[in-house]
Amino acid sequence: SAYAAPLSPDFAACHDSTDPDKKPIDCCPPGTVPAEVPTYVPTATKVNTRLAAQLVDDNWLAKYKKALTAMRKLDDSDPRSFKAQANVHCAYCNGGYYQAGYEASKLILDVHFSWIFFPFHRWYLYFFERICQKYADDDTFAIPFWNWDSPSGMFLPSIFKDSSSPLYDSLRNSNHLTKVLDLNYDGTDTSDSTITVIKNNLITMKKQMVTQSTTAAAFFGKSFLAGDASDPGAGTIETTPHNNVHRWVGDPNESHGEDMGAFYSAGRDPVFYCHHANVDRMWNIWNSLGGQNFTDSDWLNSSFYFYNEEAQLVKVFVKDCVNTKLLGYDYQDVGIPWLYSTS
Ligand code: C2O
């Protein structure tokens, strides 16, 4: 490669993404890109608690509905609109950005299947949550997590099922609304009993979080440097259950399992942010079990761009998202039932 530099998107030159039919789709964020984009380093002084989705109360739900209703009403030209937030995922996954410095060779930056999977999605949810706080008019608000690693959370959380709610999305698998979630779902429904699926889910969690995740590369995914082709290799959790849960939620009658089953459309379903909060929680749990983050400067200095709650563009670095307390949130302690599962 011409020169080595940590990975970063050429944000200002966002171009059409490619949908699963190989057709161009415009997922670029609305808004202007200033010549100088400030770096944002969070220094939270209070810590909000992200709650398990099956445990939230009506007061909390009213706030989330208020926020999502407002975001759905914002004009598409506002980067904080629900539509623009969903498209953040599309642009960063479906080829909307070239790698800075590698535009000429048309090297795409895809945030999946590599060591930037966890940090990218952490930052994405961070700004989504701050936009929710703004429109809920409550800076203590925190998004929920889908506690799919615990038996009580192994169903689609009920808050997403009310068709009159802003948390609803019609493009989902209607056969799964009351079925136990299969963390190993491969597109075919299992005939196993609910009890057996739950037992296998717990075994899978222990395997992905402990047995198979003994190194940073195993857990996060393979190294992805500027100048590399995208998708060098995913970590344990990204592969299973992350991908399986996407596919389990999406509508199999849609050509690509929309919404949750396809990268370009996944962010259109509010379940996406709840699913990813639990993926993000797995990073904290893995650290609490002794897992050590990468220390490579190429990982720490990889960067992304996001519009914040004031619709201002900021640049953020992986190194500034490794401690969620500094980001102003933590996860409700609901136990780790899979830690004790034996196959
Ligand atoms: Cu960006 Cu769940 O994928």
Q: How many CB atoms lie within 10 A of CB 194?
A: 12
* Pair 301, 6: CB distance under 8 Å: yes
Question: pLDDT at residue 1 above 50?
Answer: no
- Asked if the structure places residue 259 within a domain, the reply is yes
For ligand 1, atom 3: residue with the closest CA? 263
Region 37-48 average pLDDT = 96
User: pLDDT per residue over 240-275, tens digit each?
Assistant: 999 999 999 999 999 999 999 999 999 999 999 999
Q: Is 134 in the pocket of ligand 1 (CB under 6 A)?
A: no
Give the model's pLDDT for residue 2.
Answer: 45
Peptide bond between residue 79 and the one before it cis (omega within 30 degrees of 0): no
Region 210-232 average pLDDT = 97
- Asked if the structure places residue 137 within a domain, the reply is yes
Question: According to the annotation, is 89 in a ligand binding site?
Answer: yes
Question: According to the annotation, is 15 in a ligand binding site?
Answer: no
* Pair 7, 224: CB distance under 8 Å: yes
Here the ipTM equals 0.99
Q: Is 89 in the pocket of ligand 1 (CB under 6 A)?
A: yes
Full 3-state SS string of the chain: CCCCCCCCECHHHCCCEECCCCCEECCCCCCCCCCCCCECCCCCCCCEEECEHHHCCHHHHHHHHHHHHHHHHCCCCCCCCHHHHHHHHHHHHCCCCEECCCCCCCCECCCCCCCCHHHHHHHHHHHHHHHHHHHHCCCCCCCCECCCCCHHHCCCCHHHCCCCCCCCCCCCCHHHCCCCCCCCCCCCCCCCCHHHHHHHHHHHHHHHHHHCCCCHHHHHECCCCCCCCCCCCECHHHHHHHHHHHHHHCCCCCCCCCCCCCHHHHCCCCHHHHHHHHHHHHHHHHHHCCCCCCCCHHHHCCEEEEECCCCCEEEEEHHHHCCCCCCCEEECCCCCHHHHCCC
Give the model's pLDDT for residue 4.
Answer: 61
- The CA R_g of the chain, rounded to the nearest whole Å, is 19
Range of the domain at 335: 15-340
- Asked if the structure places residue 9 within a domain, the reply is no
Give the model's pLDDT for residue 341.
Answer: 81
- Asked if the structure places residue 157 within a domain, the reply is yes
Give the model's pLDDT for residue 343.
Answer: 61
More confident residue, 220 or 341: 220
User: pLDDT per residue over 198-217, tens digit each?
Assistant: 999 999 999 999 999 999 99
Residue 243 Cα: closest atom of ligand 1: 2
Amino acid in position 6: P
Residue 92 Cα: closest atom of ligand 1: 1
Q: Is 276 in the pocket of ligand 1 (CB under 6 A)?
A: yes
Question: Considering its fold, how many domains does the chain have in total?
Answer: 1
Distance 143 CA to ligand 1 centre (A): 16
- Asked if the structure places residue 6 within a domain, the reply is no
Distance 27 CA to ligand 1 centre (A): 15
Q: Is 112 in the pocket of ligand 1 (CB under 6 A)?
A: yes
Distance 263 CA to ligand 1 centre (A): 7
Residue 124 Cα: closest atom of ligand 1: 1
Question: pLDDT at residue 194 above 80?
Answer: yes
Distance 2 CA to ligand 1 centre (A): 30
Spatial CA neighbour of 146 closest among 131, 160, 126, 132:
160
Task: Locate 144 and state its tokens.
Answer: 């929920």
Region 185-204 average pLDDT = 97
- Asked if the structure places residue 5 within a domain, the reply is no
Query: Any bridge partners for residue 9, and if so which?
Result: 99
CATH of the domain at 214: 1.10.1280.10
Question: According to the annotation, is 256 in a ligand binding site?
Answer: no
End-to-end alpha-carbon separation of the chain, Å? 46
- Asked if the structure places residue 148 within a domain, the reply is yes
Question: According to the annotation, is 275 in a ligand binding site?
Answer: no
- Asked if the structure places residue 1 within a domain, the reply is no
Instruction: State the catalytic residues.
Output: 89, 112, 121, 242, 246, 263, 276
Give the model's pLDDT for residue 31.
Answer: 80
Q: Is 107 in the pocket of ligand 1 (CB under 6 A)?
A: no
